[in-house]
Structures are given as C-alpha cells and as structure tokens.
Amino acid sequence: MNKSAAPNDTGEKSSRKIGVEIEFAGLTPDQAADVVASALGGEPKQTDLYFWTVEETELGDIDVELDTQFVKAGNNPLQEALEAASEELGIEIRRLIGSASEGLVPTEIVSPPIPVSSLPGMDKLVDALRQAGAKDSSGSPLFAFGLHLNPEVTGKDVAAILPTFKAYMLMSAWLRDQIGIDLARKALPYIDPFPVSYVKHATRADYTPDLNQLIDDYLDENATRNRELDMLPLFAHLDEERVRKRVNDPRIKPRPTYHYRLPEARLSSPDWSIGQEWDRWLLVEKLAGDADALTGLAELFTDTPPRKWLEASSSFLSEWREG
C-alpha cells in the first residue's frame, strides 16, 4: 500500500477503526507535540510533566508522552504518599527520572481510534517527524523502538477471533523476516514470540474452545503484555475480571482491538510507511479467512522442526499469495 492509498483488499467497512502508536527518540514530548500540530493541525496542551495532548487535529486528539510509567503522577502508592506530603518534591523526583531517561526511553505518539482510510494522515506525520529529527532504532544500539497497530476486531466471538489469532501465530516467523526486526528489539522481552507448545495447541484443527477456555488457555502460557501480538487488551475488554485475576497490571487497557506490537518504527527511512505494516496485517486477516490454507499451514507447523519453520512457512505463504 502506498502512502496515499486506503487498504480495501479484505473488504473491511469504511467505519472500521485503528489506533496507532509510534516510538522514537531525538524529540522531547513538547517538541513532538509541536510537530504533530504543525503536520495535522490542533493545539498542544500539557496535561502532566512529560505528557501532552494535541487537541482537535485532523485525526482527533493525539497524545504525546515519555513512554515510562515512572514519570506519571501517582504512579504507585509510595509516590502518591510522597506527593501528598510534598507535591513540589514529587514533581522534582519525576523530573529527575525523566531527565535520566532521555536517550533510553522513547517519546511515544498515540493516536485515537481513526478510520482505516485515515492512515495516510499518520504517514504524513511520520514524514514530519523524520524531517524534525526523530530517531528510530538505527540511531543507537540502545534504541528499540516499535510501531504498534491496534486494529479494531471484526467480531467479538471465538469464530471471529481465533482464526485471526491462529493466522498470526503461524505467520509470525515470516513477518519477523519481512520486517527485519532490530537486534535490540529481539534481545528485549517486549515482542517475545509465543511458546511453540502453545502455538501447536492453539492451532490444532480440533481446538474449538469457547471464549472462557480461549482466554484461560492464553493466560496459562501468556500472562504477560510482552508478546508480539498482545491479546490481553482484547480479552480484558471481553472479560476483564477473568484477565485481572491472572495479570495484575494497570497498563492493560481493555479495548476491542488486536494489539500488534511487532513492527519497527523506521522513521529514518524515507521508503518506510505505516501503510506497509498495515498491508502485512491485512495478509494475516486474509489467511484467517482462507480455512483451507490456514489448516494446511497449521499441519505444516506440526510436522516441521522449528529450525526449518521459516523456510517452510515462507515457501507455503509465497505459493498461497501467488495462488
């Protein structure tokens, strides 16, 4: 997909929404908020020490923040008690943490849910960030910055969710190869792949769970946000109590989306676009809608040694796409 085209090859309705999160270095949150306003209109307003909202852009209200919970007000009971005793001291401590984090913790831009047809507007913002000096993972061996896509689910029952989830797990190795994941991101836990044993279990032809079992099985093996396709926001949206009992993490935000964390934010490359990553996701959904191909790839996974899986799945997917 080029930067001006709207994806339509899966026939999704024009009302379908997607959220976008972009991580980068080289610009502080206030500087990045000014870039957002310059590219997309709107008025930057500071909401906390390292947090800004650019209100009423052409894509809605866009948040810009330093991507660490430790600079947020009231982050934990100890910090709340400290700030209750001395608000000035609490602010100063958060300021020091933020200063120490520069160069290690990314600035992050978070869009609201926008129509899929509006993704070219986010690519316009990517161009503006690049021109303003935003740095991606290539800027330092310490950088590990991603692009997160949050496409709205096409259905909230197992019949809609499970095929897409299966397709993603079976395409994971191919996606990693196509994207070319940075070494720092591979080394860090934020985009860990799913355990092989779980993939084999969840992609079996006879695996027909109800929603409760699907969530429970997932939590048995993946009670963490650190997965390349984080299902916790979706599962928390569908059954928050069930998820919270197993994963006590306030950063989990219930929402009816897939939280796709794998893509790189390649801001330094003029040829890169968010549209390219969306096209890859559309292939996942296309495979999910092809029951025969999905079953065939799952059977191949069961019969293929892990060290040969990338080659085998790449060959299968190449033939499938050409067919």
pLDDT at 184: 86
Domain membership flag for residue 247: yes
Task: Compute the chain's Rg from CA coordinates.
Answer: 20
- What's the Cα-to-Cα distance from 291 to each of 167, 203, 223, 287, rounded to whole Å? 10, 12, 28, 8
pLDDT at 66: 84
- The residue range of the domain holding 213 is 154-258+266-323
Cβ contact 265:180 at 8 Å: no
Cβ contact 131:89 at 8 Å: no
Domain membership flag for residue 276: yes
pLDDT at 78: 55
Structure tokens at 97: 């943490």
Domain membership flag for residue 127: no
Share of the chain above pLDDT 90, in %: 74
Domain membership flag for residue 202: yes
Domain membership flag for residue 97: no
Domain membership flag for residue 317: yes
Cβ contact 160:183 at 8 Å: no
In this prediction, residue 94 has a pLDDT band, given cuts at 50, 70 and 90, of low
Domain membership flag for residue 139: no
**Residue range 141-190, pLDDT digits in tens:** 778 899 999 999 999 999 999 999 999 999 999 999 999 999 889 988 99
Q: How many domains, in total, are found in the chain?
A: 1
The pTM score is 0.87
**Residue range 197-208, pLDDT digits in tens:** 999 999 999 999
> HSE of 310 in the Cβ direction (CA atoms, 13 Å)?
7
Domain membership flag for residue 112: no
